[in-house]
Amino acid sequence: MIRKVLIGATMLVALFAAPAAAQYDPTVVNPGTVVQGGQVTVSGSGCQPNQEITITVYPESEEALAGNPTVAPVITVKTTSDENGNYSVSFTVPSTLAPGAYDVLGPCPPKGGVDVNANRAAPKLYYLGRFVVTAPTTPVTTPGTGGTGGTSLPRTGSNTSGMGLVGAGLLAAGGLLLLGTRKRRSSAPAAA
């Protein structure tokens, strides 16, 4: 009996077990959504030690991903990688930048990265990620009327009395079944 319970429990655990996650790309464009005038940080690895890095941001387009952007970058920032080839650079999104999605390209390949300029000798660019720019929201406030007050509190929660009755009924039925099986076992004739 214990063996069946253990097998059942193992099958139940296996049913809800999550598959192993794939390795994540160490290049991070954070946050994924930013308000005009907000900060974005791009960090990653895979560069040569102490390499000068130019990060460029283009409006989301197939041309930018193909390595042939038809427009000039809207943001360009420079940094230098550390002795291990890691880098991190932050920049402010211009408050005049139109809301929408923007692709981030750079010269260092992220793990499993996409070389968007495979046919170009230099400089090679790699797709590092994407962020979305949104317009700032201004809360609309309306003046209150003051109200008149109330005489009773609002009712919150749910009515669980029906569920309680069903639970009590099931509990009583289980108890009766248990008593019935015990009586049958005790009144059965002993085997000779």
| Domains located in the chain, CATH noted | 28-134 (2.60.40.1930)
Residues in the chain, overall count: 192
Strands 100-106 and 87-92: unpaired
Q: What is the 8-class DSSP label of residue 189?
A: P
As a whole number of angstroms, the distance between CA 169 and CA 160 comes to 14
* pTM reported for the whole predicted model: 0.55
The two structure tokens encoding residue 161: 């009395």
Beta carbons of 53 and 106 less than 8 angstroms apart = yes
Residue whose token pair is 């968007």? 116
The two structure tokens encoding residue 106: 């750079």
Beta carbons of 71 and 97 less than 8 angstroms apart = no
pLDDT of amino acid 22: 38
Phi, psi of 52 (to 5 degrees): -75, 130
Phi, psi of 82 (to 5 degrees): -85, -170
Q: What is the pLDDT of residues 163-186, one digit of tens each?
A: 777 787 888 888 788 777 777 666
Beta carbons of 87 and 23 less than 8 angstroms apart = no
Beta carbons of 53 and 79 less than 8 angstroms apart = yes
The two structure tokens encoding residue 24: 């994540």
Phi, psi of 69 (to 5 degrees): -60, 135
Averaged in consecutive runs of 10 residues, what is the pLDDT profile of the chain (192 residues)?
A: 67 52 58 93 88 91 70 92 92 94 83 53 72 85 67 65 76 81 68 58
